[in-house]
Amino acid sequence: MGRIISLAISCVVIVAAGGGITFIQKPVGAFYLILWLVWAGTTMLWRKEGVASSYDRNQVLGLAVLGIITIPALLVGPPWEYANFTVPLPRDGVLSWAGLVLFAVSIALQDAAMLELRGAYTVHLGVQKGQRVVKSGPYRFVRNPGYFGFILSVIGIGLSLSSIIALFSVVPVVVFILWRIGHEEKMLVKEFGKEYKQYMKVTKRLIPFVY
């Protein structure tokens, strides 16, 4: 019930920041809100908290800082900019629709990553009971498809609502993700040894076919 209430509150905040009912009367605004509902809803449903471990101790501050940055930058800022500014990015045009498509693709990628890990996709950094090295689905091409999808989501949000705030927030998001990946991969090497090292040799770290 708490998650449903949180989801409902986030939708009310988005609509209010976007100028009220006029936000969802516009095609871009309506599609954006639907995608946000899917994104937030599936994340709440499929991403688990996980069990706190020794690996997680240095993550608490980083997660708190990221939350302070991303909540206003992704929840309030983009619809507010969309409703109140017309420059420097155009509204409701090809760029916005391209952003919506990118947002949708990023959601699909993150959902695929969460489903493939079957409960091991967690907030807390740690190896869950019964966890194994997953090499199927999007993990065939990149070791961190969920993180890559999140970055694409931030870009998609920025483009769809022509939000400079969201686009600038990509930088701290990427910095945090690279920092977290560094700690996460050290943990996985320690836990899974040669199997994970071999997996690292045949896949990219974050961006398929690139890095």
User: Which residue did the predictor score with more confidence, 145 or 45?
Assistant: 145
What's the rounded mean pLDDT across residues 129-153?
A: 92
- Convert the pLDDT of each residue in 6-33 to its tens digit: 888 999 999 999 999 999 999 999 999 9
Check residue 54 and give its pLDDT.
Answer: 65
Residues 99 and 95: their CA atoms lie apart, in Å, by: 6
* C-alpha dihedral, 48 to 53 to 67 to 141, nearest 10°: -60
pTM metric for this prediction: 0.91
Long-range contacts of 188-193, Cβ-Cβ distance < 8 Å, separation of 24 or more: 188/127, 188/133, 191/127, 192/133
Check residue 189 and give its pLDDT.
Answer: 94
3-state SS of the chain: helix, strand, coil percent to 5? 75, 0, 25
CB 89 within 8 A of CB 162: yes
- Convert the pLDDT of each residue in 142-174 to its tens digit: 999 999 999 999 999 999 999 999 999 999 899
Domains of the chain, CATH where assigned: 2-202 (1.20.120.1630)
Check residue 61 and give its pLDDT.
Answer: 67
Residues 128 and 130: their CA atoms lie apart, in Å, by: 6
What's the rounded mean pLDDT across residues 98-125?
A: 90
What's the rounded mean pLDDT across residues 54-77?
A: 74
The torsion region of residue 92 among left (phi > 0), alpha (psi -120 to 50) and beta comes to left
Give the pLDDT band (50/70/90) at residue 207.
very high
Check residue 102 and give its pLDDT.
Answer: 98
